[in-house]
Amino acid sequence: MKPYAEMTRDELLALQAELKKKYREMQALNLNLNMSRGKPCAEQLDLSMGLMDVLNSDTELRAEDGVDCRNYGDLTGIPEARRLMSEIMEVPADNIIVYGNSSLNIMYDTVSRSYTHGVMGNTPWCRLDHVKFLCVVPGYDRHFAITQYFGIENVPVPMLPTGPDMDLVEKLVSEDESIKGIWCVPKYSNPTGNSYSDETVRRFARLKPAAKDFRIYWDNAYCVHHLYEDDHDTLIEILDECRRAGNPDLVYKFASTSKITFPGSGIAAMAASLNNLDEIRKQMNFQTIGHDKLNQMRHVRYFKDIHGVEEHMKKQADIIRPKFELVEQILEEELSGLGIGSWTNPKGGYFISFDAMEGCAKEIVARCAKAGVAMTPAGATWPGGRDPKDSNIRIAPTFPPIEELRTAAELFALCVKYVSADKLLGNLD
């Protein structure tokens, strides 16, 4: 079929009638499918069931530093958990604090602490007239929601195949003291699946921000989440690069096992310079007496080291790789060459990013919903849910069983075609 834009009006009308018929047939199936969030499927969760068996009433529950994991102690995490997370995050264990189950919680706390008490002696953000954060778009809605919650202005920065538009980042950060941070998912980014190039990471480390309290919020959520063992992205380690550049305090780095083991019951960690960690530990003394050390020990006993994590993630990839490939195959077969959409083909992570014709994303998602397939809300990948082009849609292939995913992807492609024809016929606002 030729590109939609090259069709005559009569051809489009005939196509529209055919698509409407197919759409009504799909509606009649009374589907109830979900591609809205990047959740692991049950088969992935089953891989981690051994975690439930490594500790029992006969287990020695003292950490290697002698602390009884049933009791108070080790505010920043037991040594063996910090060592495991240091291997996952590729930083020294001395630069790590292990928290509870959620890296998002750590990010929220970090913004909150900066808002109420400032960063390293700088003015608390709550006392400033205006505070801004840079948001790489399309990006992660929950990041944007944190800063929005605190009344911080979210400023979009375009995502390129190599990472954020660094020319724009450098300009904004160097000229505007009210810009206090930037949200980043540097590896297999949510939702594009792109990874930052070496040059991009080096340019981040060499930023010259006008604000002394500017920080890079480096959420390396998918650091070990490869789809292909022999073809995966690598990332320069940002803390080391910042140290080399003479900016050791510039970055906060986050990671967790949420999509390695059990979301909601994993362990999360933050890595930063010793100066940053000293300040954070002072605040933690007022916030908690310690996190769940038994869960930290459980993860260490189960994985032992990074090699155990890597073997585990190969099994994860075997489960979700066919799902990504199925969605990509259906998009290619149904939409390639029509000029009505483009999409990413990531090597890892949890999402595929789809760009529809301008002004079509909300209607595509609405059409999917009316036929029984839930998608991430259109616009969610932009601050405030406002995609100025109304074009980006995040596809989350991991959770549905593969046959349900096939149906959902076919319906999605049908809705893209249906709405695109409507758009070209002038039927959309």
Distance CA 157, CA 189 (A): 14
Look at residue 427 in the predicted model and tell me its pLDDT. 75
pTM: 0.96
The stretch 376-397 carries a mean pLDDT of: 97
Per-residue pLDDT tens over the stretch 408-426: 999 999 999 999 999 999 8
1: confidence class by pLDDT, cuts 50, 70, 90 = confident
Look at residue 429 in the predicted model and tell me its pLDDT. 58
| Residue 257 in this model has a pLDDT that exceeds 90 | yes
Closest CA to 180 of 135, 136, 148, 214: 214
Looking only at the bridges linking them, the beta strands covering 153-160 and 132-137 are parallel
* 8 Å CB contact between 179 and 209: yes
Cis omega before residue 138 (within 30°)? yes
The stretch 22-30 carries a mean pLDDT of: 95
Distance CA 97, CA 69 (A): 16
| Residue 345 in this model has a pLDDT that exceeds 80 | yes
Strand order in the sheet with 96-98: 96-98, 268-271, 251-256, 215-219, 179-184, 132-137, 153-160, 163-164
User: What value does the mean pLDDT of the chain take?
Assistant: 96
| Residue 38 in this model has a pLDDT that exceeds 70 | yes
Distance CA 184, CA 48 (A): 28
Q: Which domains does the chain have, with CATH numbers?
A: 4-44+310-424 (3.90.1150.10), 62-304 (3.40.640.10)
Other CB atoms within 10 A of residue 87 CB = 18
Distance CA 145, CA 382 (A): 10
CA torsion, ordered 17, 21, 27, 29, to nearest 10 deg: -160
- Residue labelled with tokens 């919903």: 369
| Residue 284 in this model has a pLDDT that exceeds 80 | yes
The 3-state DSSP class for residue 219 equals strand
* 8 Å CB contact between 227 and 348: yes
Look at residue 149 in the predicted model and tell me its pLDDT. 98
Per-residue pLDDT tens over the stretch 58-81: 999 999 999 999 999 999 999 999
First-residue to last-residue Cα distance in the chain: 26
Look at residue 37 in the predicted model and tell me its pLDDT. 83
Per-residue pLDDT tens over the stretch 143-184: 999 999 999 999 999 999 999 999 999 999 999 999 999 999
